């Protein structure tokens, strides 16, 4: 009789545990880089934030999002928001969790607003250094999903000038030499497991052709280090 009661108790515990494990929670680390060096760059907006977030998939998911400014200087301020992962529904209060998710997404929208309100148009553009630094930081994170969004035309104008025709030509004829120059100054770690979205909407044919050259160069560079890269106008 005692054996039967013990069996029933274990079965009940198992049923509760199984029901709480039906929804598997995951963690995501996201970095959003927004370029404010050119007034013509279409800025990443709050719609993009919601599309990137995994909190709509499950309120138990965990997420950290970092928004970084790309400007004419090498060091910029950034904004960060996070919500911890919940590994079991047994430890989740549904009402309070939904409130946390709402507050987190609201903070994300505010962060994006703070960046897009920055003064735009600069004489220089420090782009690759910021991207490389943030990618290397992402490699150290333990989240299942690692995502980087680059909202930029990618036109570097610092220690190397992508506006020079000779540099654009080099991207096509001898891209390895240019890659070596960039990674020689700011190395890239193994980017396996990182998904990169390059977002930019060209304003005319000339800009479109130039962006195709530069974005393809960067795609090959990042993919050679293990990343998955998407080039598109929005997300």
Q: What is the pLDDT along the chain (235 residues), one digit of tens a residue?
A: 444 443 344 333 333 333 344 457 789 999 999 998 887 677 777 677 778 888 888 888 999 999 999 988 877 788 999 999 987 665 557 888 889 999 998 998 888 888 877 777 788 899 999 999 999 999 999 999 999 999 999 999 999 999 999 999 999 999 999 999 999 999 999 999 999 999 999 989 999 999 999 999 999 999 999 999 999 988 7
Closest CA to 226 of 186, 179, 187, 194: 194
28 phi and psi angles, rounded to 5 deg: -130, 140
For residue 167, CA distances in Å to 141, 159, 195 come to 34, 12, 27
* DSSP structural state of residue 43: P
For residue 61, CA distances in Å to 18, 29, 56, 80, 170 come to 18, 11, 9, 17, 44
Q: Provide the 3-class DSSP secondary structure of residue 195.
A: strand
């Amino acid at each position: 009789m005692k054996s039967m009661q013990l069996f029933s108790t274990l079965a009940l515990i198992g049923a509760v545990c199984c029901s709480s494990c039906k929804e598997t929670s995951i963690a995501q680390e996201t970095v959003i880089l927004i370029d404010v060096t050119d007034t013509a760059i279409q800025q990443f907006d709050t719609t993009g934030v919601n599309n990137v977030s995994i909190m709509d998939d499950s309120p138990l998911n965990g997420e950290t999002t970092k928004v970084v400014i790309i400007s004419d200087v090498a060091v910029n301020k950034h904004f960060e928001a996070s919500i911890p992962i919940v590994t079991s529904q047994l430890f989740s209060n549904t009402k309070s969790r939904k409130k946390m998710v709402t507050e987190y997404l609201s903070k994300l929208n505010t962060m994006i607003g703070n960046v897009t309100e920055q003064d735009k148009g600069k004489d220089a553009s420090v782009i690759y250094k910021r991207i490389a630094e943030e990618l290397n930081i992402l490699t150290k994170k333990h989240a299942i999903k690692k995502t980087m969004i680059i909202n930029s035309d990618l036109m570097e104008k610092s220690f190397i000038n992508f506006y020079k025709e000779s540099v654009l030509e080099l991207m096509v004829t001898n891209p390895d030499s240019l890659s070596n120059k960039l990674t020689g100054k700011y190395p890239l770690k193994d980017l396996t497991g990182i998904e990169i979205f390059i977002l930019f909407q060209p304003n005319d044919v000339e800009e479109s052709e130039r962006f195709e050259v530069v974005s393809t160069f960067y795609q090959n560079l990042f993919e050679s280090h293990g990343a998955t890269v998407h080039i598109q106008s929005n997300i």
